[in-house]
């Protein structure tokens, strides 16, 4: 099984991130949640908070998200959010 999946992070202004990733940790409305490859289908609200992305290649990336939604379907994850700005790991 392929340990990667496709992630898109989109605001109303632009495509913030698109690519293959190993995992993410996102600020769900009920607390942080992790998503790995082959995750069960899911739609959930996102609260403002820190998104951690572990790309298939390269170093982790971190974003400050506004409220939004996360959808997992057929090894694709879509994050629609009001705001997403890249931040340093310590932020």
The full set of domain ranges for the chain reads: 5-68
Answer with the residue of higher pLDDT: 1 or 49: 49
Is the model's pLDDT at 31 over the cut of 70? yes
**Assigned CATH class of 5-68:** mainly beta
Residues of 61-77 as b/e, b for ≥16 C-beta within 10 angstroms? bbbbbeebebebeeeeb
Mean pLDDT of the chain: 95
Q: What is the pLDDT of residue 2?
A: 77
Model pTM? 0.94
First to last CA, the chain: 34
Question: What is the tens place of the pLDDT at every residue in 45-82?
Answer: 999 999 999 999 999 999 999 999 999 999 999 999 99
């Amino acid at each position: 099984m392929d340990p990667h999946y496709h992630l898109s992070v989109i605001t109303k202004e632009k495509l913030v991130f698109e690519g293959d990733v190993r995992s993410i940790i996102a600020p769900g409305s009920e607390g942080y949640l992790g998503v790995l490859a082959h995750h069960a289908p899911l739609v959930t609200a996102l609260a403002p908070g820190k998104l951690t992305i572990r790309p298939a290649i390269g170093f982790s990336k971190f974003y400050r998200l506004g409220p939004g939604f996360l959808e997992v379907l057929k090894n694709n994850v879509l994050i629609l959010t009001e705001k997403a700005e890249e931040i340093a790991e310590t932020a």
